[in-house]
Structure 1
Amino acid sequence: MASIATLGHNNLAPLLGCGVETLTDSASLDFYAHDVFERGAEPLAVVRPHNKQELARAMAAVAASGMVAIPRGGGMSYTGGITSPHPNAVLFDLAAMDRIVAISEADMTVTVEAGCTWAKLYEALKPLGLRTPMWGTLSGLYATVGGGMSQNCIFWGSTRYGMGVNSCVSMDVVLADGTILNTGAKFARSYGPDLTGLFCGDTGALGIKAEITLRLVPEAKAHGYASFLFETHAEVMTALATIERAGVATECFGFDPKLNAIRMKRDSLATDAKQLVGMMKAQGSVFKALKEGVKVVAAGRSFLSDAKFSLHILTEGRNQPSADADLVEACAIAKANGGTETDNTIPKIVRANPFVAPNSVLGPQGERWAPVHGLLPHSRAVECYDAIEAFFDKHREEMDALGVHTGTLFSAVGGAGAIIEPCIYWPDARNPWIEHLVEDAHLSKLPPGENNAAAHALMWKLKKGLVDLFFEHGAGHFQIARTYRYMDSLDPAARALLSGLKRQLDPENRMNPGALGL
C-alpha cells in the first residue's frame, strides 16, 4: 500500500475545474481543521458536493491529483475521524447533501442523502407516524445519518433496537476512484453476503457514504418514564442489564455521582423551563400537559444532589396500557436491584426535546470535554467500571492539582451490552468549532478559557490510559476513527481480510488514511 508521504503532486486544478463547490480560503481551511476535540493538519481544500454525482466527480479529481480524502458529516467527531494528520488532504463536507430522497410507507423504508441530520429526518417522518428504529443521537441536531453509518451510533431507541447501523438496509458509497457502488437491494439487507455491513462503522476508510436507505417502524403513541437512585455502580449496572434483557425499555441510561453533580451545576430550572414547552406539547392534552409541567417545576433537580448513581428509563407502546405495563416491569427490576424511585424529570424532558444544541461539549465552568467509551457485555461491565475508578484514583492527586475532573455515563444497547463512557473535563481554551456549536446565550455565561498545557497533557495521558484499559477488558467501540485499538483487537486472519479489502477498494490508501488503523 502506498505511503501517504509519497503520494501524488497535490495539484488542485482538476478539483477546482470539476464544477463542484470548493473552498480554499484560509479562514475556511482553519475552521474545517477542527473537530470537537482537536485540530488536525489544515486541509488543502474543502469540497461541498450537492449530490452523489458531484461527490463522485470530485472524488475522482482528488484521486487523480494525488491527494487523500477525509469525509465529514456533522463534525461531531472527537476521535480523529474527520481531522487528518496529513497535510495533503481534501476534506469532503457533506452538509449540503441533506435531501430526504424517498419515503416508502408501503415498503417501510426511507432513503436520505448522507448529510441529512437525524433531527431533520425525525421531523420529516413525524407527521406520517413513522421513524427509524434507532432514530438519532443526542447530537442529532448536527450529527448526520451518513456519519452515524460511518462511525456507528446509539441512543434514541438503542436499548430496544440496538445500534444505528442495525437500521440500515443499503447504501450508495463513493469509492476512492470516484466509482459509485450500491451495496444491495433497497428493501432488504439480507440478500447474499452483507455488502452493506462492510461499510457500516468503517469510519470512512473504505468509501464515502452518499445515500442511505433505512428501515422504518411506527412511531410510538404512548410513553412511560421513571428514574431511580442507587448506592453502588454494581446495583445500577445490574438493573440496567436486566432491563435491557427483558426488552421493556426503548432507552435506559444513567450517570455516576460525579456526572450527576456536573448536571446539577450545568443545568438549571431556567433550562428546564425552556425545554418544558416541548415536554408539555408531547403530552397530548392540555390537562395532562399542565399536570406534568407542574411536576417538573416542582421537582427541579434537587433529587440529583445526593452522591448516588441515577438510572433513567423510557418505555413506549402503541397504547398507554402497553407502555405502562413495560414501565411497571422495568420499575420492578430497578427496585429489586436496590433502586429507589425518584422524580422522572430527566427522561420526560430529554424525550420531549431529543435534539438540542450541544452545549454539553463544554463543562459547567467552560471546561473542555473529552469522552472515552467502551461497549462491554453485561457480564464484564462491573469489573471494567471498577478498573476505571481505580485508574482515576491512581491519578487523583495530579488531577486535583490541575483542575481535571471526570463523570461517567452508561447506557444499555439492545443485543450488545452496556456502554460505559467516562468523560474527562479539563481547563483549556476552546476551539472555533466548539464556539460554532454552543449557543451564543450559553457561551456568554462561561469564562473564555485559556491555554493550559499542563492540564491538556494530563488529559491526553488519561485518554490514552482509558483507551488501553478498555482494550485490556475486551471492549468494543463506536467512532473508532484513529483513537481506538481496532486492528489490535482482530485476529491475524481478520486483519488480513480487512487489509485485503482496503487494498481492493483503495489501493493507494487515499480514503481517510489511518482510520480503523489502516
Structure 2
Amino acid sequence: MATKANPTAIEFIAETGAEVLTESETLNFYAHDVYQRGADLLAVVRPKDKDELSAAIAATTAQNIPVIPRGGGMSYTGGYTTDKAGSVLFDLAAMDRILEINETDMTVTVEAGCTWAKLYETLAPKGLRTPFWGTLSGLKASIGGGMSQNCLFWGSGRYGTAAQSCIAMEVVLADGTVLKTGANFTRPYGPDLTGLFLADTGALGMKATITLRMIPEAEAHGYASFTFEKHEDILAAMGAIERSGVSTECFGFDPSLNAIRMQRDSLGSDAKALGQMMKKQGSVWGALKEGAKVVAAGRDFMDEAKFSLHVLTEARIQAAADDDLERARKIALDNGATETENTIPKIIRANPFGPLNSMLGPQGERWAPVHGLLPHSRAIACYDAILALFEQHREEMDQHGIFTGILVSAVSGSGAIIEPCLYWPDASNPVHEATIESAHFAKLPTLDRNSAAWELTQKLKQALVDLFHDQGAAHLQIGRTYRYRDSLDPAADSLLQDLKKTVDPKGLMNPGSLGL
C-alpha cells in the first residue's frame, strides 16, 4: 500500500509512531537466533506499548508483509528466524513495564517484553513471586516469549511450565485487533481462550500483556546433590521424586555435561553469588561459611564420570523444607545414588538469572540443545535410543570434533525432559557476542567457520528431532524445528488450521512457525 503521504512500506509503518530500524548491521543481527540465521529482514519495529504494537502490525500486514515476534532473542528453534525474505520483525523488548501488582487478588500483569529477572526482582521485596518464575536464561528471556514458546525451570518441579502460571493475556492479531482472553483473575472462564494462544510460538498472535498468578515466596529452602552410575537409575529417581511432589526443581547432568560445567564455571563468582544469597537471608556468618565451602570444594566435589542429580525444596518453615528434602534423599539413595556436596543447586539458586555465558562451550564451541518431554514410563527407552544414535555416528562426530552432553529435568504432572546438547567447533554469531558477558567472550578462543561440522550438526539435530517424534515426545519452544503437526490426529490438525485462518486469514503472522 502506498499513498502520497506514505511513498514506501517502511514510512507507512513508521507513521504509527513505533521505532523502525533499517540499518544493515541491525537487520543482520536480528536475522539470527542462537542457532542460525534466517532470511533477510525488511525492517525491525520496536513498539513502546500495546497501542503502537497494534497499529504497527496493522500497518505492516495491510501491505501483505509478514510480521515476526521476537521476545528476549533466546530462541534456538527458529522461533523468529523466518525463511520469508522481506518480513518485518517486531522486537518487543521496549514493552517491559510491570503494569499492575494486585496483592489482594494475587495477580501481576506485565507487558510482553518484561524479563523474568525483572519481574522476580520487583516482586521479591514484597515476599511474592509467580509459581513458575523463570528460565535459566531469564536475564534476557521475556515473559511474552515464555508464554509463546512455553518454557521451564524455576518452579517446574512443583508448578509445571510457564503456561500453567498464566491467567489471561492481551494478544494482537494479524489485522491489529487486540483480543483479551478471559477474566484477569481466573482461568478458564468457559472454553480456555487463553490456552489457545499459549505455546503457539507466535503463530496465532503477538502477546501484548500477560497476567500471572502470584504466590508467597518461600521462606525456607533445602538442597541436595547425588551421583549415579547409570542413566536408568537417575531417571528412575527423578521420576519418583517428581511423583512425590517434594521438589520445586529436580534436574541432572550426564557425565559429559558434568565435565563441561566444571570447566566453565568460576569459583570466584560462585562464592560471591552464594554469599549474596545468604546475606539476603540475614546471615552474614552463613554467607562467609558457604562461600568458603565453595572455594574449599573446588571442582573436585563432583565425580565427572558419573551422572548427577540436584534437588531443591522450599516451604514456609525450615522443618517442612527439610522433611521434603529427606524424602527426596531416601528416594535417590533407594535408587542407587551416592550423596555428594550440594554446591551446584545452592549456587544456581543463589544466582537464578546469571550471565548467559554457557551459550558457547568452554573452548568457544557452538551449542545447540534438542529436547523432548516424555512420560516417566518412556524416558529410559528414549534415552537408550539417543545413546544408540550418538554411537551410530561416533566416528564422524569424533572426526569433526562434535561432542554431546545430556540434561534431564522433572516437570510436575508431565514427566521428564531429556535434552541432548550438541557442541561443535564453529564461528560464533552476533547473538552470542551480544549476549555473553564481554569479559568472558574475550577469553574464549575465536573459532573459524566450519562448514563440515555445521552440516553434520544439522544432520544430527534433525535425527534427534525425528527420534523424539518416533518416541512420542512432546516439546516446548516448538518454533520451526519440531514436528508438532505430524503428531496431531487429522481432526485436531484441521481444527488448528481453521483457527489459524480465523485469526490470520492471509497467513502473515509468523508464517512457518508451529508448522503453519
**TM-score when scaled to structure 2?**
0.97
CA distance in structure 2 between the partners assigned to 1:120 and 1:435 by the alignment: 22
Helix, strand or coil at the partner of 1:389 = helix
- Structure 2: give runs of 5+ residues left out of the alignment: 1-6
CA distance in structure 1 between the partners assigned to 2:473 and 2:226 by the alignment: 27
CA distance in structure 2 between the partners assigned to 1:502 and 1:10 by the alignment: 29
Residues 36-81 of structure 1 deviation map (CA, whole Å, 9 limit, x = unaligned): 1111112101000000000000000011111000000000000001
Helix, strand or coil at the partner of 1:44 = strand
CA distance in structure 1 between the partners assigned to 2:341 and 2:322 by the alignment: 17
Residues 364-391 of structure 1 deviation map (CA, whole Å, 9 limit, x = unaligned): 0000000000000000000000000000
Equivalent position to 1:284, from 282, 288, 297? 282
Deviation, 1:280, is 3.1
Structure 1 residue aligned with 2:42 = 44
CA distance in structure 2 between the partners assigned to 1:261 and 1:10 by the alignment: 54
CA distance in structure 1 between the partners assigned to 2:328 and 2:379 by the alignment: 20
Percent pairwise identity: 66
Deviation, 1:293, is 2.2
| C-alpha contact 1:279 1:348 (8 A) present in aligned 2 | no
Deviation, 1:17, is 1.9
Structure 1 residue aligned with 2:247 = 249
Helix, strand or coil at the partner of 1:360 = helix
Q: AA paired with 2:58?
A: A
Structure 1 residue aligned with 2:486 = 488
| C-alpha contact 1:14 1:65 (8 A) present in aligned 2 | no
| C-alpha contact 2:369 2:420 (8 A) present in aligned 1 | yes
Are 1:275 and 2:273 counterparts? yes
> Which structure 2 residues correspond to residues 67-78 of structure 1 after superposition, within 5 A?
67-78=65-76
Question: For structure 1, which segment, 80-89 or 147-156, has the greater mean C-alpha deviation from structure 2 after superposition?
Answer: 80-89
Deviation, 1:25, is 1.3
Structure 1 residue aligned with 2:4 = none
Structure 1 residue aligned with 2:168 = 170
Structure 1 residue aligned with 2:3 = none
Q: AA paired with 1:345?
A: T
Equivalent position to 1:157, from 120, 145, 155? 155
Q: AA paired with 1:346?
A: I
Helix, strand or coil at the partner of 2:88 = strand
Residues 349-408 of structure 1 deviation map (CA, whole Å, 9 limit, x = unaligned): 100100011100100000000000000000000000000000000000101111000000
Deviation, 1:19, is 1.6
| C-alpha contact 2:272 2:291 (8 A) present in aligned 1 | no
Structure 2 residue aligned with 1:191 = 189
Residues 274-326 of structure 1 deviation map (CA, whole Å, 9 limit, x = unaligned): 43333432443122222222222222221324410000000000011111010
Deviation, 1:510, is 0.2
Are 1:363 and 2:361 counterparts? yes
Deviation, 1:29, is 0.7
Equivalent position to 1:328, from 326, 330, 349? 326
CA distance in structure 1 between the partners assigned to 2:410 and 2:298 by the alignment: 26
Equivalent position to 2:496, from 484, 495, 498? 498
| C-alpha contact 2:256 2:304 (8 A) present in aligned 1 | no
Residues 235-285 of structure 1 deviation map (CA, whole Å, 9 limit, x = unaligned): 001000000000000000000001011112112423423433334324431
CA distance in structure 2 between the partners assigned to 1:455 and 1:146 by the alignment: 34
Q: AA paired with 1:110?
A: V
| C-alpha contact 2:227 2:303 (8 A) present in aligned 1 | no
Residues 192-228 of structure 1 deviation map (CA, whole Å, 9 limit, x = unaligned): 0000000000000000000000000110000000000
Equivalent position to 2:63, from 54, 62, 65? 65
Helix, strand or coil at the partner of 1:12 = helix
Q: AA paired with 2:421?
A: C
**Inter-CA distance 120–466: structure 2 relative to 1 (3 Å threshold):** same
CA distance in structure 2 between the partners assigned to 1:142 and 1:481 by the alignment: 18
Helix, strand or coil at the partner of 1:354 = coil
Helix, strand or coil at the partner of 1:74 = coil
Question: For structure 1, which segment, 264-273 or 233-242, has the greater mean C-alpha deviation from structure 2 after superposition?
Answer: 264-273
Structure 1 residue aligned with 2:297 = 299
Q: AA paired with 2:32?
A: H
Q: AA paired with 2:26?
A: S
| C-alpha contact 2:238 2:250 (8 A) present in aligned 1 | yes
Helix, strand or coil at the partner of 2:295 = helix
Q: AA paired with 1:51?
A: D
| C-alpha contact 1:268 1:301 (8 A) present in aligned 2 | no
Q: AA paired with 1:128?
A: K
Structure 1 residue aligned with 2:506 = 508
> Which structure 2 residues correspond to residues 23-34 of structure 1 after superposition, within 5 A?
23-34=21-32
Structure 2 residue aligned with 1:401 = 399
Structure 1 residue aligned with 2:199 = 201
Q: AA paired with 1:101?
A: L
Are 1:141 and 2:143 counterparts? no
CA distance in structure 2 between the partners assigned to 1:222 and 1:10 by the alignment: 59
Structure 2 residue aligned with 1:263 = 261
> Which structure 2 residues correspond to residues 407-426 of structure 1 after superposition, within 5 A?
407-426=405-424
| TM-align CA RMSD | 1.1
Structure 2 residue aligned with 1:226 = 224
Structure 2 residue aligned with 1:235 = 233
| C-alpha contact 1:11 1:66 (8 A) present in aligned 2 | no
Helix, strand or coil at the partner of 1:444 = helix
CA distance in structure 1 between the partners assigned to 2:282 and 2:378 by the alignment: 41
| C-alpha contact 2:168 2:187 (8 A) present in aligned 1 | yes
Structure 2 residue aligned with 1:106 = 104
CA distance in structure 1 between the partners assigned to 2:226 and 2:370 by the alignment: 25
| C-alpha contact 1:170 1:183 (8 A) present in aligned 2 | yes
**Inter-CA distance 10–259: structure 2 relative to 1 (3 Å threshold):** farther
CA distance in structure 2 between the partners assigned to 1:300 and 1:71 by the alignment: 43
Helix, strand or coil at the partner of 1:468 = helix
Helix, strand or coil at the partner of 1:307 = coil
| C-alpha contact 2:275 2:288 (8 A) present in aligned 1 | no
| Runs of 4+ with >3 A deviation | none
**TM-score when scaled to structure 1?**
0.97
Structure 1 residue aligned with 2:444 = 446
Q: AA paired with 1:155?
A: F
| C-alpha contact 2:302 2:341 (8 A) present in aligned 1 | no
CA distance in structure 2 between the partners assigned to 1:406 and 1:306 by the alignment: 14
**Inter-CA distance 417–358: structure 2 relative to 1 (3 Å threshold):** same
Structure 2 residue aligned with 1:354 = 352
Equivalent position to 2:114, from 107, 116, 120? 116
Deviation, 1:335, is 0.4
Q: AA paired with 1:355?
A: F
Structure 1 residue aligned with 2:474 = 476
CA distance in structure 2 between the partners assigned to 1:89 and 1:474 by the alignment: 34
CA distance in structure 2 between the partners assigned to 1:63 and 1:51 by the alignment: 18
Helix, strand or coil at the partner of 1:244 = helix
